[in-house]
Amino acid sequence: AQSVTQPDIHITVSEGASLELRCNYSYGATPYLFWYVQSPGQGLQLLLKYFSGDTLVQGIKGFEAEFKRSQSSFNLRKPSVHWSDAAEYFCAVGARGGYQKVTFGTGTKLQVIP
C-alpha cells in the first residue's frame, strides 16, 4: 500500500527566508506526486504535481519540488517566503493513473513571522 510521510508537523520561518518542506513516499511503481496547500477557511489548492519527465517541477506561487527516486522524496521549496504563504501543506501520492486512491500525508503547518 502507498504511504506518505511528512516528518515536520510545524515549521516557522521568517518572511523572506527560504523554505523546504519534506515529503517521503512509499509506492511500488512510478509514483504520481502532488503538493496541496490548505489556507485557513479555504479549500485545498494544488501547488504542483509530478507525473513524469523533468524531476524538478515548477508550481504556482513560486513553489517548486524535486522528485528524487533514490531517496523516495518529493520536497517542496520556495526561495523567499511571503506572509501569505502561512498555511498547511499536504504532500500526496496517487496510484493508477494519478488521481485514483490519492493518499495524503499528515500535513505541515507553516507559520511565517515578520
Partner 1 sequence: SAVISQKPSRDICQRGTSLTIQCQVDSQVTMMFWYRQQPGQSLTLIATANQGSEATYESGFVIDKFPISRPNLTFSTLTVSNMSPEDSSIYLCSVVGQANEKLFFGSGTQLSVL
Q: Residues interacting with partner 1, by CB under 8 A? A: 34, 42-44, 46, 49, 90, 98-107
Give the shortest CB-105-to-partner 1 separation in angstroms.
6
Residue 65 to residue 23: CA distance in whole angstroms: 10
83 φ, ψ to 5°? -55, -30
Give the shortest CB-22-to-partner 1 separation in angstroms.
15
> What count of other Cβ atoms lies within 10 Å of the Cβ of residue 80?
11
Nearer to partner 1, 19 or 105 (CB): 105
Give the shortest CB-18-to-partner 1 separation in angstroms.
25
Give the shortest CB-111-to-partner 1 separation in angstroms.
15
Nearer to partner 1, 3 or 71 (CB): 3
**Of 35, 26, 110, 38, nearest in space to 73 by CA:** 26
Nearer to partner 1, 43 or 53 (CB): 43
Strands 64-68 and 10-14: unpaired
